[in-house]
Amino acid sequence: MKSKILKFGLFLLFAQRITAERLPTAQALLDAHRESRKELQQTLQEKKNKLKAQLTSALLKLEYHAKQESNLHVMLWTHSTIRRLDQLEENWLGILKEPLEFPGPVKELFLTTAGSWENMQSSAVEKVEENRENALEKMEKLQIRLVQLDRIDEAVITRDLRKKLIKSKVDDQLQARIKKLTITEYAKRVQQEREKKFASFDPKGPIPPPDAAFPFQADNPAFQAYLKGIKAESSGFFATPSSHIQIGNHPVCSGYRGLAMVAYHDGEILLEDTFDTYAEQEESVRLSAAIGDLPYGALVVIAVRDDATRRFTGSTQSSLYRLGAQKGILRLPYRSSYILIGMKGLEMGGAVEISGMNKKITFPKKD
């Protein structure tokens, strides 16, 4: 009988040791929670990249259909947006909150993409809390079991680590970072930062470049200061063709047939040239390249003489949008007068544009 009791006691002791070996440590549970947190961040970044790829793919398809239907307006917008998405890198989310002056199909696509991202963001915030609660629950169960097994030292360690996780701000900080990735919060934060930069702007110093996702606003001090020193004149073929541009005290630039352009930045004239987009399509290509090479913040003045529409292309119209144009040259009547005063990186519609038919136009306008 004593032998049976002894054997039974040894069996219980052996079973207890097996149970002890199978129990995870509190540190292992904590490490698993940290690893889960890292995986969550990585997954969120992968989803963000995938969503960007999906948006780009959809824009390419939209651009293709626009070409098939000869819808120039949609073609210009999709082409411009695809290019900008590539430039924005990690900050591409901000483009979804820009003023939605896009044509219907593009606007719908952007709203759908914005909704997809905000759903992912909301899910990620919930997942952070779920991971923490899961880890805390497992540690609590482990602590209770260790007490039952009379392994008090391990139970105390588990309790302390659990308290540490409860007091930890890491998960709260992660949630806060994810919340900042919402399109609304992102747009608000970046715009506040830009306003602070412009509040301390020195008109005599170099112009700070625009944020990748948010263009210069038309009312910023740099652009408004430049407007005060501009004089420009344009007239088409039917109004004694001429084009003249003057920036501050710099010599007057008199253009020839086509489109005269002067670019000014940081106290210097960077470019002074005429592009004969009446005669050669290659001149439109050259104009697009010239605008692309300008630094952000460069002031640009354009004045047409005789005609600039005949060989002016859709892609060059897209380049004018980068200067803040909204009307542009593409759809102007043949041999129209046209003046644009813009800035590289200015919001679309922020530039000064004046056009007319059969008359001379000036900036500032003459009474």
Quick: pLDDT tens for 341-358. 999 888 888 899 999 998
Task: Label residue 120 by pLDDT band (50, 70, 90).
Answer: confident
The β-bridge relationship of strands 299-306 and 258-265 is antiparallel
pLDDT at 130: 92
Residues 175 and 235 in one domain: no
Look at residue 302 in the predicted model and tell me its pLDDT: 98
pLDDT at 212: 47
Same domain for 238 and 122: no
User: pTM value?
Assistant: 0.56
3-class DSSP assignment, residue 300:
strand
**Are 245 and 157 in a shared domain?**
no
> Residue 268 is encoded by which pair of tokens?
């210097």
Model confidence at 13, pLDDT cuts 50, 70, 90, reads low
User: Looking at the structure, do residues 118 and 233 belong to the same domain, yes or no?
Assistant: no
Structural domain range at position 166: 26-180
Q: Are residues 161 and 32 in the same domain?
A: yes
pLDDT in tens, 67-104: 888 777 677 777 767 766 766 656 677 777 665 555 67
Question: How many angstroms separate the CA atoms of 183 and 262, rounded?
Answer: 37
Are 150 and 281 in the same domain? no
170 and 236 fall within a common domain: no
Is the same domain home to 175 and 228? no
Q: Residue 296 domain-assigned?
A: yes
Instruction: State how many domains the chain has.
Output: 2
- The span from the first CA to the last CA of the chain, in angstroms, equals 122
Residue 271's Cβ-side half-sphere holds a number of Cα atoms within 13 Å equal to 21
Domain boundary (130, 158, 180) is at 180
Same domain, 115 and 246: no
Rounded-to-integer distance, Cα 194 and Cα 208, Å: 9
Q: Is residue 209 part of a domain?
A: no
- Residue 185 counted as domain residue: no
